[in-house]
Amino acid sequence: MNSFKQNLPGLVRQQVAAQLLALSLALWLLVLAAPAHAQAQPVVGQVTHLSGVLTARHADGSRVVLAVKSAILQGDTLITERETYTRVKFLDNAEIVLRPGTEVAVNKYIYDEKEPKNDSVAIGLVKGGLRAVTGLVGKRNHEAVNFDTPTATIGIRGTHFGALYCQNDCGGVPTPSGQPPDNGLHVDVVSGAIVVSNPGGLQVFSAGQFGFVQSRNVPPVIVPQSQGVQVTMPPAISSNGNNGTQKIGAAKLDACVVQ
């Protein structure tokens, strides 16, 4: 009995040490797992052109500053700062160009080369403006691609189109009247067609047409070309080179910077 009492403090110390060791190991495993969790989402695209500051908010809430050749993950929200333009290319060769003050969520991007029925693309325009060119997913499965905005959903038909959502923040966007664009969603179509729908109704816009959606419950309407608002981008961002190929909404040199 006396021997057991003498050894009791030593046993307690051993148990405490073992618990501390287990806790340290658990914390270390959490540290190691954190970067892996951030990369749990698949890579779906890459930044190809950038002028300014571009950040990505990952699905887990962490944020990183991106550069040319940075990977875009499914679930990322891309945010362009003041005077920032960027161009992103996705797995199926689709591309989007973002203007300053834009926030775009890559909610889903699934491209299954062998099984088109599995394709699914959902991109959300939270604020700002973009131009988009359809990739292989949109060309082979129109219903698989949707662009969600606060006022309507845009479906594509093998398309090159622009979308601009204004909420008292489009003062520098060029318009035919010279006045700031009205609040709401402005769209324009260069090729193909888009289907814009919301609880108020549905409207198809073809190449050369402009459209406007004032709010979520007001139906989309076609706007005369003389009153249409087009999202333009600097040539350095919208073109691959000086040969004029693969332009995505190139603007004139004197109108390429939107404050």
Is the pTM for the entire model greater than 0.85?
A: no
Report residue 253's pLDDT band, with 50, 70 and 90 as the boundaries: very low
3-state secondary structure labels for all residues of 184-219:
EEEEEEEEEEEEEEECCEEEEEECCCEEEECCCCCC
pLDDT, tens digit, 9 for 90 and up, residues 60-75: 999 999 999 999 999 9
In the structure, what pLDDT confidence band is assigned to residue 17 with cuts at 50, 70 and 90? low
Segment holding 35, helix H or strand E: helix 2-38
